[in-house]
Amino acid sequence: MGADDRAALEAEVVGLARDLIRIDTSNPPGNETPAAEFLAGYLGEAGIECELAGPDPARLNLIARLPGTGDGPSLMLMAHTDVVPAPPDNWTVPPFEATVRDGHLVGRGAVDMKNELAARAVAMAGFSRSGGRPRGDVILVAESDEERNTAGVGMSWLVRERPDLKCDFALNEGGGQLLDLADGGRVMTVSIGEKKVTSLRLRIKGTSAHASIPDREKNTLLSVSRAIERLLSHDFEPEVSDSVRASLDAIGAPSGSDTERLEWAAGQHSVLADLVPVMTRMTITPTGLETFEPSNVIPPFADIVCDCRALPGQDEDDIRGHLAEALGPGIEYDVEFLEPLAGGFESPVGTVLWSICEQYVEERFPGTALLPMVTPGFTDSHWVRQAFGTVAYGLAPVADTDVDVYLDSMHGADERLMVSDLVTMTGFHRFVLDRMASG
């Protein structure tokens, strides 16, 4: 790509990303329709068929389609239009101004995920303007309500009501971090699956009494504090699945026991030090506490709300068993599942799309291996894997933004991404479209 072409591409993708960030789609309440309408106008000018769909007029999804010739695999490009709220405390710029500063795009959604939405839209528009014709349909879905998924207006609605969206492959968020390893190797993360997710209410029981005469051993809140400490400190035994072993192989972990290989992998990079343990363990994390009595009464019970991430293959009985193991003796409790256990689907590697991703990484970052990961977070890839059997990968290359800045600013203050990475993301998606079109 020449300097003039790169400058034009940068101007287009940065401009689109800034326009999208300036449309406040904080969820709650969402109000994603203006973002969907704006994208429909942009893609429509490139000759792409667009429609808005959904049960709530204020929270519509964009569906943009390039019809294929019918002799190749179909591809869905996914990105959500909603963002988490952005309280201005600790921001050094207005969150929805979309400031470009020191080579970074700063604003709510610059990392999660109006950056990827802009990159995928610009790649699709460029492919259409070039006269390219895909072998299979290419569908861009800009979905609402990913951040909360409580309203039933986004991807959960689309997979139920729009079976015509079924695609063989999908690209979404969840990976793309370029990591230089301690042993001198280099990898780029790819999300191939996600843990299961649910939320729990633990009702910790005690003895009601007058607060003026405390009984430390019978005080419910003492049991609550012990329960929280035990949940946070308990180290569950790792469970090493075939997909985890594939990750260890991809990163070049030396032979040895599973425990030794996991310890080696975690020591290769600070990001892996965080991700490797949660890839192999259930997590039950206290996130809320509620009591139900006035301050002069020791309550007979108190509730701890917990986020729970289970491994693929685990079920509610496994969660109950892990709770019993972590809480141990001396704490009386009941557990209630606040939502169904969802997720836990994985996609295989070694596919046509995986090979294309490998080709891109080898050309752009020689000597870099793709690192398949089962990620702890939850994305809309779950819905298409479950409903359609789609092979979905989370990949949008981030090569220049400091990885700690990228991860720490996600959902945080001064969320930011280097402008050069927007160009890289766009180039990657155009590479995929061109390769899938050519077969």
The secondary structure of 242-292 as a DSSP string is HHHHHHHHHHTPPSS-HHHHHHHHHTT-HHHHHHHHHHSS-EEEEEEEE--
Per-residue pLDDT tens for 313-322?
Answer: 999 999 999 9
pLDDT of 403 higher than 80: yes
Q: Sorting pLDDT into bands at 50, 70 and 90, what band is 17?
A: very high
Verify that 108 and 246 share a domain, yes or no: no
386 occurs within a structural domain: yes
**Mean pLDDT, range 381-386, rounded to an integer:** 96
367 occurs within a structural domain: no
Verify that 240 and 332 share a domain, yes or no: yes
Q: Which of 321, 343, 365 is a domain's end point?
A: 343
pLDDT score at 415: 98
370 occurs within a structural domain: no
Strand 169-172 relative to strand 209-210, pairing? unpaired
Q: Which of 17-31, 86-100, 192-206, 212-226 has the lowest mean pLDDT?
A: 212-226
pLDDT of 215 higher than 90: no
Q: Which of 8-17, 134-143, 236-245, 424-433 has the lowest mean pLDDT?
A: 236-245
373 occurs within a structural domain: no
Verify that 334 and 415 share a domain, yes or no: no
pLDDT of 226 higher than 90: yes
383 occurs within a structural domain: yes
Verify that 122 and 197 share a domain, yes or no: no
Verify that 32 and 148 share a domain, yes or no: yes
CATH number at residue 433: 3.40.630.10
Give me the phi and psi of 66, to 5 degrees please: -105, 110
pLDDT of 218 higher than 80: no
pLDDT score at 36: 98
Give residue for tokens 């993708």: 13
Q: Sorting pLDDT into bands at 50, 70 and 90, what band is 98?
A: very high
Verify that 422 and 334 share a domain, yes or no: no
Per-residue pLDDT tens for 147-182?
Answer: 998 899 999 999 999 999 999 999 999 999 999 999
362 occurs within a structural domain: no
pTM here is 0.93
Separation CA 351–CA 357 (nearest Å): 10
> How many domains does one find in the chain?
2
Q: Which of 208-217, 309-318, 348-357, 411-420 has the lowest mean pLDDT?
A: 208-217
CATH number at residue 338: 3.30.70.360
CB atoms within 10 A of CB 203: 15
pLDDT of 270 higher than 90: yes
**Mean pLDDT, range 110-134, rounded to an integer:** 97
Q: Which of 318, 343, 368 is a domain's end point?
A: 343
Verify that 200 and 244 share a domain, yes or no: yes
Q: What is the mean pLDDT of the chain?
A: 95
Verify that 269 and 167 share a domain, yes or no: no
Do 384 and 167 form a contact (C-beta atoms < 8 A)? yes
46 occurs within a structural domain: yes
Give me the phi and psi of 158, to 5 degrees please: -65, -45
Verify that 146 and 67 share a domain, yes or no: yes
Verify that 198 and 58 share a domain, yes or no: no
Verify that 97 and 219 share a domain, yes or no: no
Is omega for the bond preceding 29 within 30 degrees of 0, making it cis? yes
23 occurs within a structural domain: yes
Verify that 264 and 390 share a domain, yes or no: no
pLDDT of 132 higher than 90: no
Segments forming the whole domain that contains residue 270:
193-343
